[in-house]
Structure 1
């Protein structure tokens, strides 16, 4: 069969697509890049925000029009399967923790499977110079605002052996960046009796021969704290990007409590302080939700103060949106007009802080590894602490000594020395 994939959402979702592609290729199916050429269309969905969910609904309707066998997979399927059934009664529905069912969906009759199953299949399909390899699925948290928890209900860590084999395969195929991803990468091993931690996995992967860099995916602060010494020790290895994605979500303790986050603002600050003391020039990236229920003016100001104090290199800002069947949806909501104005203020602050950080790189030299194509023929590289650098006249997949000649709040611009 010829199968077309369309993927939305986070790195974990992209990794799930590569797993499904791997399973199908092992059975000699062909992956195509055009839905017109396909016998089967697979839509791997996201449902993290209201507008994302609406986009998924529209895309399901649009893809039905091709008249091909349709499979709707991913978080929208797992969290809102009834909506998918209504929009496309003939479609197979696969939750994000039932990836192996893709074989039945492609080869057989319509199926419905959203229950979690344990699988050891990690990707053997990679595109470009960046390999995305899921290490765990699901998380140990239970955040009030999160619909993803309804789709990925169970924490399931992939075996160290299968991950190591996937990394070896990716490096053999030319990957120079390997992203070890999950909903919460630092929760790795909790479901395996707690005997194995993320740092153990990192040390195994870092022992693999080859010229490549490892990027650790998003981690919750409480799980990072559980393995902080081991993770920071592994980060001393030159093959590991000096990069931490630690979502704080709010700078106010009351809001964090309403969100059911498992740390205080002061505890978060201590984690950042320790990381910066042990790994100089480490890049701290975070996620912040603006306008979550319970966020009054004082709470919002506390979030702005945290941004100013920590000076995040990158902030993924999101305006809170109601997600069905979550506890936050039942709370008293912040008016949309207030959320939009706060979002504007927070985004301006983020831009100013990031600009000031990037300005420090101007006229300095740094090592950069090129990983992907950019716009207008440019190439995107990454510094050792994972800041993007826009280059021209270079090859993908190589190291360069670069002088920074310009910057924006989002990236650096460089020229090869």
Structure 2
């Protein structure tokens, strides 16, 4: 939206604004509550208010109950943001095909959305109500955004989406994710590409080509492949389109053919139908697969989703299971990171860290904290001194 409003003046203080826009998230109940609280706070400034994002797209009635005077714009209608800001229309919740890839930079990292929405229909997901259809950005627009980021000094390009492996399905599958990665990788410059999250079912449909691009020298050996549960029956209740054996097969083939591959996953604890046995199956999967990073989340009931109508697991049980899963995750990740202690590694320094440090990434995207004020955007050699479950710490050599 800021890309489309680049000719407007942005201010840092809401008091100085003519219009205030909040871009919302609704993926979890506690997040929605924070969004509603913030909307209420922003109303007090007495300025024109625009509520954008997934809360508007999925629950417009909720937004209007908090701020009936607000204009609403859904996440798949951002092309209409100028009309909303200028007051030509009050509400825009759905749009046409995405045409302009946003220009987004975070320091030395260029963030490039390649698709909006997904091809799945998970029973627990409210995002599907906000982003109802898959919309792939045109390849030429993605390349333009990548060139823009590189011209601004980016050394890492993140190709993002709810399901990057679904890219192109809405175009008749004439161009898929691997071709996007390959064309971005062919651009001039010294940079690395990080491929964003993808579903196992879509990854399996392009696995040979995906393996080929993961082997490219300027692509991180990293894949984010959410499994969500280690139990087949729970996967059915979630409406996930694969079995645990199929998931293991995908990861096994990727790891066998892409050296040093880092597999990250997501797991939901306490989804309806998760018995004690099902939860134990999830813990077993974590042990067997040895994921370097796991995004763990307690199931959050979301309105108007199928999972919300199922018998719910008590909060106390969900919290107990979460504590067990998180402890196991910490132990597994720490044991993986301990293997790096005392070793030399090449890093690309991309971010400023806390308390006078910088963060670099290994070839398989593990963060390494380096003390000192070092120049970002350069490749360095480092020795790993210490490991935690979350990252590595080292010094330059």
**What's the TM-score, normalizing by structure 2?**
0.98
Alignment of 1:76-95 (within 5 A): 76-95=55-74
**Kept in 1: contact 2:220–2:365 (CA 8 A):** yes
Q: Does 1:138 align with 2:120?
A: no
Residue number in structure 2 paired with 1:406:
386
Aligned length in residues: 396
Alignment of 1:249-398 (within 5 A): 249-393=228-372, 394-398=374-378
Q: CA RMSD in A?
A: 1.0
Deviation per residue, 1:329-366 (Å, 9 max, x gap): 00001111100000000000000000000000000011
Q: Given the alignment, which residue of 176, 180, 187 partners 1:201?
A: 180
- d(CA) in 2 for partners of 1:230 and 1:45? 35
Secondary structure of residue in 2 paired with 1:385: coil
Deviation per residue, 1:263-295 (Å, 9 max, x gap): 000000001100100111111000000000000
Alignment of 1:211-222 (within 5 A): 211-222=190-201
**CA shift at 1:206, angstroms?**
0.6
Residue number in structure 1 paired with 2:2:
21
Consecutive unaligned residues of structure 2, counting only runs of 5 or more, are none
Alignment of 1:80-229 (within 5 A): 80-108=59-87, 111-229=90-208
Secondary structure of residue in 1 paired with 2:129: helix
User: Structure 1 residues 374-383 or 187-196, which shifts more?
Assistant: 374-383
Residue number in structure 2 paired with 1:416:
396
1:120–1:327 CA distance, 2 compared to 1 (3 A): same
Residue number in structure 2 paired with 1:43:
22
- d(CA) in 2 for partners of 1:257 and 1:205? 36
**What's the TM-score, normalizing by structure 1?**
0.94
Consecutive unaligned residues of structure 1, counting only runs of 5 or more, are 1-19
**CA shift at 1:119, angstroms?**
2.5
- d(CA) in 1 for partners of 2:248 and 2:112? 29
**CA shift at 1:38, angstroms?**
2.1
- d(CA) in 2 for partners of 1:125 and 1:310? 34
**Kept in 2: contact 1:124–1:169 (CA 8 A):** yes
**Kept in 2: contact 1:21–1:31 (CA 8 A):** no
- d(CA) in 1 for partners of 2:137 and 2:57? 20
